Amino acid sequence: MSNPCVHCGEDCANNPIIWNEKSFCCVGCKTVFQLLNENELYTYYKIDQTPGIKIDTQDFGKKYAYLDNAEIISRLYEFNEGDYRRITLFIPSIHCSSCIWLLENLNRLNKGIRQSRVNFIKKQVNISFSENEVSLRQVVELLASIHYIPNITLEDTDKRKSNQQNKKLLFKIGFAGFAFGNTMLFSFPEYIQGTLGIDEKYKILFGVLNLIFAIPVITYSAQDYLLSAFKSLKHRIINIDFPIAMGMLAIFFQSAYEIISKSGAGYMDSLCGFVFFILIGKWYQNKTYQALSFERDYKSYFPVAVTKLDGDVELSVPLEKINENDIILVHNQELIPADSILLKGDANIDYSFVTGESKPVKKHLDDMIYAGGRQIGSSIELLVKNRVEQSQLTKLWNQTEKADEPDNLNKLIDRVSKRFTVIVIGISLLAAIYWSVFNPELVIKALTSVLIVACPCAMALSIPFAYGNTMSFFGKKGFYLKNSDVVEKLTKIDTIVFDKTGTITQADMLSIDYVGDYLSDKEISMIKSLTRNSSHPFSNAISNYYKDISIISVLNYREIPSRGLIGEFDNVLLKLGSIEFVSGTTTYRNDNSSNVHLSFNGEIKGNFKIRNKYREGVDLLIENLRINFDLHLVSGDNDAEKQKLTYLFNTDKNLHFNQSPAEKKAYIQNLKNQGKNVLMIGDGLNDSGALKTADVSISIADDVYHFSPACDAILESSNIKSLTEFIKLSKSSLKIVKLSFIISFIYNIIGISFAVTGQLSPIVAAILMPLSSVSVVAFVTLFTSVVCRKLNVES
């Protein structure tokens, strides 16, 4: 980079904006620098090099006007008393130490801000401010003016709940660990008593103390397992929690009996240790990516509030308060929140996120405009026809609730634990019958001993650690799973369905070829100067295609929507656009491909062929996947690229074009009905129905912190080429889990052989249980790490 922008680090090319001998790539970057400079916040540029964020539009106008609406903001506040307000804002662009520094020094930019704390992992900033001195709108506008644009949705309130659950689990682990340490200490004398034996009064004391610790462990720390086992019994299903709960209860009651009857020391230390280990496994399994959201619904896609027109008065109204026949005002770059009819203005709707098509659609008066599009250009007035929840897009979104129940039954762990439980109960009954004949005194002891040692602690721990480890490795490579269960689901996939636009092609990148007569340097700079004035994706693409070209001033520039651009340079009239527009003829010619023609003074020179650009490595990926998987493509686009795709997929049998979101969903459902395990890879809202229907869904994202539809996993677009490796890796970790099951069965056989003889001593249990758990965890962690490292995945 020859001339990086001081603020954002982007190349300033030939026309930097100079201020104070420093060069900036755009006015936006310069403005932020000036603002920070005025407030003596230069440290921002010292901690990290060029930490700034570049944004396209600096002008946010009335975008945050809804933050003046008391009803809306009262739902956003975390704390609200007197003039003191506290709010947590999600800012996806937090990325470096400088960001933390600046956001924690906000009070130097506005005195009304009392304190601000950044949570880097969640990409959140918690701001306390005084309402009397600064309003929420001003705070948010301040953040936007330094390019830290908060993402405000009403969905955030739900997130706090899961946080509370996480805290509860930590309390449970903390208590179980505390009890484990203490009971071990009190049980120790029993194990080393040797021939002397310990004093009777200490025995009683230690026993009673153990019992006191164990009661809250079983009733509080282990309550989830007991409840889950009880529930599964009610539904007549045996899941992994069932044998666990059975073992825990057996240990607890057997030990309590021994302690109270003074017949033995009990196994309370084993119980506490067991609960402690298994909770750690659960905690490890629950570790997810906190800044990412996999369960997004339409609420997080649409704005919090909409501008409603009441006569001539503009009001900010919460989204759910919009009713049929309301008139709403949609500004430039704003989303259409509900299906409505165009009343006034030039509607140019960009449906790129809904359909994947990047060309904006021109709408006429009285046309129906469906929710989800983005207005480009001047403000428009719309008459709402359907409430937000009733709009086509949100309906599709809400229809498909993933049925979780049958899914869970298919999990390996539950299949294994079902058989395991039956076998264990069988063995314990056999042992009981045997002893009832030969030595009735040992019946109860043998029965409970088998249940105690057979408790599948090691088995229950191997999955969280094996999958959790694989998941965190995936995360390092830009593949973020919703939870570790997805690892196992991935291993079962036999069919992969791709979306086209935005998934295997880059939505915002177009490849350009010029075909036609030679263009002189001057002509090229004219083209560049003309296209840079327009926000149409094709204009952007052409403008970016001619990178280091100087710009000359244009006269009489006009943009005719859906037709082209026109402008004058020193008596040369340049026209760019469709063939009819450029040549001036009215004859209509069917032109399926996307060509931009150009003419100088009415003389046609040639055209730019604009095609979708395929993501890097996609051809190789599809070639590799073709061998083992059944590949399909469903695209909302036309079939202009069919030829290339047929070559890529090696067949045109499974290529489907012009598919509506509902058809995509039905297509997946149909594949599932044929008994296939379907992986859907998509990116936009038009895929959301299909993504929800598929067994596993992956959403491709250029920026993982930005909006993506609800899915099982988010894959960074630059890593799509590694998908084959990811699937292979999941299969390897499933194999490791199976091996670890064998190991834990061996431990169980050893333990049961002690138990059936009715001779299980507390010391054997105290050694065997932690040993089996720790060794299995070590085994799976080590092997998954080895396998992960071996695989050739570029980061």
Partner 1 sequence: MVVIFVLIGLSLIAAIIFLGAFIWNVRSGQYEDDYTPSIRMLFDDEKIINTENQASKK
Residues that bind partner 1 (CB under 8 A): 40, 43, 46-47, 97, 100-101, 104, 117-122, 163, 167, 170-171, 174-175, 178, 181-182, 185-186, 199, 202, 205, 209
534, HSE (Cβ side, Cα atoms, 13 Å): 29
- Give the integer Cα–Cα distance in Å for 688 and 436: 61
- Give the integer Cα–Cα distance in Å for 47 and 103: 13
The DSSP code for 126 is E
When the beta carbons of 162 and 399 are compared against partner 1, the nearer one is: 162
- How far apart are CB 661 and partner 1 at their closest, in Å? 37
- How far apart are CB 191 and partner 1 at their closest, in Å? 17
- How far apart are CB 171 and partner 1 at their closest, in Å? 6
Question: Could you give the C-alpha distances from 450 to 251, 274, 454, 772, in angstroms and in order?
Answer: 10, 16, 6, 16
- How far apart are CB 299 and partner 1 at their closest, in Å? 24
When the beta carbons of 125 and 493 are compared against partner 1, the nearer one is: 125
When the beta carbons of 108 and 231 are compared against partner 1, the nearer one is: 108
- Give the integer Cα–Cα distance in Å for 733 and 149: 40
AA identity, residue 362: K
Cα 408 from chain centroid (whole Å):
21
When the beta carbons of 218 and 336 are compared against partner 1, the nearer one is: 218
When the beta carbons of 198 and 425 are compared against partner 1, the nearer one is: 198
CB-CB contact of 450 with 234 (8 Å): no
CB-CB contact of 473 with 729 (8 Å): yes
- How far apart are CB 222 and partner 1 at their closest, in Å? 17
- Give the integer Cα–Cα distance in Å for 229 and 243: 8
CB atoms within 10 A of CB 557: 15
- How far apart are CB 185 and partner 1 at their closest, in Å? 7
- Give the integer Cα–Cα distance in Å for 372 and 384: 13
Helix (H, G, I), strand (E, B) or coil at 123: coil
- How far apart are CB 122 and partner 1 at their closest, in Å? 7
When the beta carbons of 117 and 789 are compared against partner 1, the nearer one is: 117
Helix (H, G, I), strand (E, B) or coil at 176: helix
DSSP 330-397: E-TT-B--S-EEEEES-EEEE-HHHHS--SPEEE-TT-EE-TT-EE-SS-EEEEE-S-GGGSHHHHHH
- How far apart are CB 97 and partner 1 at their closest, in Å? 5
AA identity, residue 452: I
Cα 714 from chain centroid (whole Å):
5
The dihedral region occupied by 677, where left means phi > 0, alpha psi between -120 and 50, and beta the remainder, is beta
N-term to C-term CA, the chain: 23
Written as six digits, the tokens of 269 are 């230390």
Type and span of the H or E element at 598: strand 594-600
When the beta carbons of 97 and 323 are compared against partner 1, the nearer one is: 97
Helix (H, G, I), strand (E, B) or coil at 600: strand
When the beta carbons of 182 and 332 are compared against partner 1, the nearer one is: 182
- How far apart are CB 437 and partner 1 at their closest, in Å? 44
When the beta carbons of 120 and 557 are compared against partner 1, the nearer one is: 120
- How far apart are CB 36 and partner 1 at their closest, in Å? 13
- How far apart are CB 787 and partner 1 at their closest, in Å? 27
- How far apart are CB 178 and partner 1 at their closest, in Å? 4
Instruction: Please report where in the chains the tokens 């506040």 appear, as a residue.
Output: 77
Cα 653 from chain centroid (whole Å):
32
Q: In what order do the strands lie in the sheet with 84-90?
A: 79-81, 84-90, 124-130, 113-119
When the beta carbons of 205 and 429 are compared against partner 1, the nearer one is: 205
- H helix intervals, 477-575: 485-491, 521-531, 537-545
When the beta carbons of 38 and 548 are compared against partner 1, the nearer one is: 38
When the beta carbons of 88 and 462 are compared against partner 1, the nearer one is: 88
Using CB atoms within 10 Å of the CB of residue 731, give its burial: 0 to 12 exposed, 13 to 18 middle, 19+ buried.
Answer: middle
Query: Which of 4, 692, 674, 607 has the alpha carbon at shortest distance from 297?
Result: 692
- How far apart are CB 98 and partner 1 at their closest, in Å? 10
CB atoms within 10 A of CB 610: 21
- How far apart are CB 292 and partner 1 at their closest, in Å? 15
- H helix intervals, 566-617: 579-583
When the beta carbons of 120 and 191 are compared against partner 1, the nearer one is: 120
AA identity, residue 564: G
- How far apart are CB 202 and partner 1 at their closest, in Å? 7
- Give the integer Cα–Cα distance in Å for 750 and 743: 11
DSSP 665-734: HHHHHHHHHTT--EEEEE-SGGGHHHHHHSSEEEEEESSTTS---S-SEEEEGGGGGGHHHHHHHHHHHH
When the beta carbons of 171 and 230 are compared against partner 1, the nearer one is: 171
Phi and psi of 570, rounded to 5°? Answer: 40, 60
When the beta carbons of 117 and 262 are compared against partner 1, the nearer one is: 117
- How far apart are CB 170 and partner 1 at their closest, in Å? 5
Q: Compute the C-alpha angle 544/545/548, nearest 5°.
A: 75
When the beta carbons of 175 and 267 are compared against partner 1, the nearer one is: 175
Q: What is the chain's Cα-based Rg?
A: 32
Q: In what order do the strands lie in the sheet with 505-516?
A: 505-516, 603-614, 594-600, 572-577, 564-569, 555-560
- Give the integer Cα–Cα distance in Å for 65 and 307: 9
When the beta carbons of 184 and 549 are compared against partner 1, the nearer one is: 184
When the beta carbons of 79 and 202 are compared against partner 1, the nearer one is: 202
Question: Could you give the C-alpha distances from 84 to 25, 26, 257, 698, in angstroms and in order?
Answer: 39, 37, 57, 42
- How far apart are CB 211 and partner 1 at their closest, in Å? 15
Written as six digits, the tokens of 522 are 């001057």
- How far apart are CB 159 and partner 1 at their closest, in Å? 12
